[in-house]
Amino acid sequence: MRQTFLLRSIVAASLFLATPVLAEDAASGKDCKEAHHGRHGHRGMKGEHRLARMEHRLDRAVENGRLSQAQADAFKAEARQLRDELKAQRDAAGGQLSEDQRLQARERVRALRQKVKEAVRASAPQKT
């Protein structure tokens, strides 16, 4: 009887001591999931991924010799400036652009992409 009483008291004491630690681990895991949106999570962050993809493509073009580093840096700077301007407009408008602003931004992004494509095509090796 004394052994079971001793065993129960040890188990109860260990649970009381471990509960705050377990609660802390569970809470920090929840915050981690909220802080990390992942690839498919937070839909408002698409612009960030697009810019990263464009930078990656430009870096690959430099590695393959299809663009110079100066050209790639200029395109990256222009893309960042465009993204920052759009973000400032969106913040000033309360989180949403008007239809005219949206169309203008879309045209500016298309023009930038077209400039990048033309620069890559101009310096691409000719197929024979």
Statement: residue 23 has pLDDT above 90: no
Structural contact between residues 89 and 97, judged by C-beta atoms closer than 8 angstroms? yes
What is the mean predicted confidence (pLDDT) over 62-69? 90
- pTM for the full predicted model: 0.58
Q: What is the torsional sign of CA 91, 95, 99, 104?
A: positive
pLDDT at 59 over 60: yes
40: phi then psi, degrees, rounded to nearest 5: -105, 5
On the question of pLDDT at 95 being above 90, the answer is no
What is the pLDDT confidence band of residue 43, given thresholds at 50, 70 and 90?
low
Alpha carbon distance 107, 127 (integer Å) = 31
User: Looking at residue 18, what is its pLDDT?
Assistant: 77
